[in-house]
Amino acid sequence: MSETFLLGILGGMGPLATLDFQRRLLEATPAQSDQQQLPSVVWNVPQIADRQKALAGMGPSPLPQLIYGIKKLNEAGASHIAIPCNTAHHWYDALAEASDAPIVHIVDATLDALAKQVTRPQRVGIIATEGTLNAGWYQQKLAAHDIESLLPTADELREWFVPGCYAVKRGALREGGKLLGHQASALFARGAQKLVLACTEVPVALEAVRAPFLHLTYDPSQALAERCSSLWQAYQ
């Protein structure tokens, strides 16, 4: 095993999404023994200030706590850092500046995975927090591949996405899955051929209700796990 690779995971946003990401890391790594699995250190601290509320001007910035977590991961010897939370990437530049270890960007990992597809959709719906949608990361990257983005409406965010997301955070996965399923159906109805599940709570909820359209989705958490696994394999 390489002694120079250690993945730092800045988690807690939310804690279930962090555990789901760790599961995906295991599944993405073709290990034949414990010793071949990807080594990681996890900062799974859920007390980080709410990202959605911060970006809506309704709560404190999580940046000081995020930087603290980044520094702790650096102190633990992380050679690379992953953040399994799309909205937290709003502060990516400040976090990257504060970190000695490079931070793998979840959007880049997702679009790189999409670009490898033999056939690409023309229209992709994005399920994400308002902060992620307003930042435009996915829209810009999709446009660079000549793919049109379809976004939730303000009413859909209020009625389905936000309550669905917070249902997951309180452990009501089936309730969250039902609400987020409505959001997905609305995007498909407007012409989306595939969906980017650009909030790490969304795949967990949709898997809980066994949503029949999961094969038509791109999962950034999965793409991030696969990118980190590839980095680990290259070190061996």
For the annotated catalytic residues, the residue numbers are 85, 199
Q: Which amino acid is at 165?
A: C
Q: How large is the greatest C-alpha to C-alpha distance in the chain, in angstroms?
A: 51
Q: Shortest CA distance to 217 belongs to which of 199, 195, 191?
A: 195
> How many C-beta neighbours within 10 Å does residue 4 have?
8
Q: What whole-number distance in Å separates Cα of residue 89 and Cα of residue 105?
A: 8
Q: By the 8 A CB rule, do 84 and 58 touch? A: no
Q: By the 8 A CB rule, do 130 and 55 touch? A: yes
Token pair 């409406």: residue: 153
Q: What whole-number distance in Å separates Cα of residue 13 and Cα of residue 86?
A: 9
Which residues, 6+ apart, have CB-to-CB distance to 189 below 8 Å?
A: none
State the pairing for strand pair 194-197/217-218: parallel
Token pair 């650096």: residue: 74
